[in-house]
Amino acid sequence: MIEHASIYAQRRARVASQLGHGGLAIIPTAPERQRNRDSDFLYRHDSYFYYLTGFTEPNATLVITAEGEATLFCQPKDMEREIWDGIRLGPDAAPAFLGVNKAFSSADLAAQMPKLLENRSTVWYPFATHTGLEGRVDGWLQSVRARVRFGALCPDLQRDLCSVLDEMRLVKDAHEQGIMRRASQISAHAHVRAMQRSAAMLRAGQDVREYHLDAELLHEFRQHGSQYPAYGSIVAAGANACVLHYRADAGPIRDGELVLIDAGCELDGYASDITRTFPANGRFTGPQRALYDLVLASQDEAVAATKAGARFVEPHEATVAVLAQGLLDLGLLDKSKVGSAQDVIANRSYFPFYMHRTGHWLGMDVHDCGSYVEPSQVGQVSERKDPLSGETIKDRPSRILQPGMVLTIEPGLYVRPAEGVPEQFWNIGIRIEDDAIVTETGCELITRGVPVKADEIEALMKG
């Protein structure tokens, strides 16, 4: 039997209990995707499907009824295909191995789904996540409708299963937290390795490139059993750090410049997401250090604001308050033009230097699912400004943090050359990102296996 089968069974039971009388849920896994001609992208299962099955084969669909019956459609045994692509579980072995009640070949999906849907009241599936699923559901419902003259009942309601699954996934159970701690630890060590390689290569007078550090990250991820990076690693030297979605490329890593690495591994279906910014040669210059310490101070405040009962926006607000004052103090913003720190915040004058949010949910997906609005308070009178768009949001208060939610805390500053900005700060991009599990009293930072204080980074990069 699959490890932790009971955890997946309990999750399926929780879904079943929310489908309502006569409900049925359909959850397909992800399709295989072609990269070019005969090569596919490395396969990655669908997160919702995996959350409910722990099963990683492609071409599979899970069906859950309100009565708690789970049916799996999976790839049939096929000697020839298994010689080429690997062993398949197959429908005969699936019930005992995965703990589902029944299993069929995925080739039988079209024939079986109308039977499963007949006499059901509501069909649930994740909306707008699987290309073509709506059309397939339509086709199955047409088949049911063709039988109404024979007394069949056809579901008359379709509902979005994301609303159920997103809320469940938002709060991580102990099993999930354990995996996320391990993923974070691997990623943290990968960052340490990359920092040390950068300084060592520069000391040896070698031509250091962004891909050298990317290779260190990958090595450490795979060495410890991570299946793949959780997202495209960013290794950005010098001015490249000011490009938020820069990808590890071939840029030269020069003595005297900073390197920003945003990278995390995926382990057993769960992402980690760490950013560190460090001097390529292991020693910060004065202006680099001034900006670095400011970003770190803003992160400290954000961490302090991350606790059960606080709202999701509070760490961001704490960050912005520190950055606004710091930008004035360091002369990146001119008091005589922009006014006080409060004015800087109100008018969003910090925006050219800090244009992203301070965090996001983290889980199976690096930008994980889950509403950023508090569901229990939708419609209650409130008003706030979205920190990024500046739009007024009425009656949708920010999410209240609960123990077990996991989020990133990732303030940054990005200084492009511009008139009025002291030249010593030009082309410096800094982000510091850690992953936090919300607890009753605060949060647990699970990514501190890589140091974050400037002195500690310098110490570990020494020869």
Three-state DSSP class for residue 363: coil
Instruction: For the CB of residue 303, give the shortest distance to ligand GLY in the complex, in Å.
Output: 16
**Is 118 in the active site?**
no
Instruction: For the CB of residue 180, give the shortest distance to ligand GLY in the complex, in Å.
Output: 15
Q: For tokens 């938020």, what's the residue?
A: 244
Within 330-363, residue ranges assigned H as helices are 335-338, 341-346
Cβ proximity to Mn ion: between 16 and 248 the closer is: 248
Segment interacting with Mn ion, rule: CB under 5 A, options 337-345, 383-391, 425-433, 434-442: 425-433
- 436 within 8 A of 415, measured Cβ to Cβ: no
Identify what 184 binds: ligand GLY, Mn ion, none; CB under 5 to 8 Å per kind: none
353-392 positions binding ligand GLY, by CB under 6 A: 360, 366
277 is a site residue for Mn ion (CB under 5 A): no
- 195 within 8 A of 460, measured Cβ to Cβ: yes
Cβ proximity to ligand GLY: between 115 and 367 the closer is: 367
Supply 213's token pair: 């550090």
Q: Tell me the C-alpha distance between 258 and 430, whole Å.
A: 8
CA 421 vs CA 260, 328, 347, 441: distances in Å: 21, 11, 18, 40
Which residue among the candidates 193, 220, 431, 435 is catalytic per the annotation? 431
Angle of CA points 218, 188, 253, to nearest 5°: 60
Instruction: For the CB of residue 262, give the shortest distance to Mn ion in the complex, in Å.
Output: 4
**Is 433 in the active site?**
yes
Q: Tell me the C-alpha distance between 333 and 344, whole Å.
A: 9
- 276 within 8 A of 240, measured Cβ to Cβ: no
**Is 175 in the active site?**
no
Q: Which of 57, 262, 268, 435 binds Mn ion (CB under 5 A)?
A: 262
Identify what 435 binds: Mn ion, ligand GLY, none; CB under 5 to 8 Å per kind: none
Q: Tell me the C-alpha distance between 359 and 412, whole Å.
A: 11
Q: Which of 143, 187, 288, 408 binds Mn ion (CB under 5 A)?
A: 408
150-169 positions binding Mn ion, by CB under 5 A: none
Q: For tokens 């979005």, what's the residue?
A: 160
**Is 270 in the active site?**
no
**Is 273 in the active site?**
yes
Q: Tell me the C-alpha distance between 218 and 227, whole Å.
A: 10
319 is a site residue for Mn ion (CB under 5 A): no
Q: Tell me the C-alpha distance between 10 and 355, whole Å.
A: 41
273 is a site residue for ligand GLY (CB under 6 A): yes
262 is a site residue for ligand GLY (CB under 6 A): yes
Instruction: For the CB of residue 129, give the shortest distance to Mn ion in the complex, in Å.
Output: 21
Catalogue the active-site residues.
38, 245, 262, 273, 356, 360, 367, 410, 414, 431, 433
User: What residue ranges bind ligand GLY (CB under 6 A)?
Assistant: 231, 262, 273, 360, 366, 410, 433
